[in-house]
């Protein structure tokens, strides 16, 4: 997986450069998220603007990361292309992943309670 980190105020943006997230890339992404949590970043925004396709195994890795971050932190997504929006809706993950249209929106979002 190719990704880059961008600390922005009280949150950290993890930008994914791959166009596809399957189980293999998803596992690497989950590892990168766990690493950020370990380094003390409670609020993480995944910039998925370049990702054109994600399958259920890739999404399952994100669900695992969401459980890891828990309610003491926040894992949100930004820049979802249409295919990913459909995936999140079909699986109802749009109910548990805060979804920002842009990274700027994410920076303006209110800090969740308990973080």
Q: Could you tell me the smallest distance in angstroms from the CB atom of residue 94 to other proteins?
A: 9
The residue range among 7-15, 35-43, 64-72, 98-106 that interacts with other proteins, by the rule CB under 8 A, is: 64-72
Nearest to 84 by CA among 94, 69, 75: 94
Residue 109 within binding range of other proteins, rule CB under 8 A: no
The residue range among 2-10, 42-50, 87-95, 100-108 that interacts with other proteins, by the rule CB under 8 A, is: 87-95
**Phi, psi for 21 (deg, rounded to 5):** -120, 110
Question: What tokens does 43 get?
Answer: 């609020």
Q: How far apart are CA 63 and CA 92, in angstroms?
A: 11
Q: Judged by CB under 8 A, which of 95, 108, 110, 113 binds other proteins?
A: 95
């Amino acid at each position: 997986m190719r990704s880059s980190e961008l600390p922005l105020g009280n949150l950290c943006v993890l930008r994914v450069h791959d166009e596809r997230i399957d189980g293999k890339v998803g596992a690497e992404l989950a590892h990168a998220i766990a690493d950020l949590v370990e380094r003390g970043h409670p609020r993480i925004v995944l910039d998925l603007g370049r990702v054109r396709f994600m399958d259920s195994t890739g999404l399952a890795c994100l669900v695992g990361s969401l459980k890891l971050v828990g309610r003491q932190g926040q894992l949100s997504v930004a820049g979802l292309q249409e295919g990913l929006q459909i995936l999140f809706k079909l699986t109802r993950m749009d109910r548990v992943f805060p979804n920002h249209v842009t990274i700027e929106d994410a920076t303006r979002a209110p800090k969740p309670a308990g973080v």
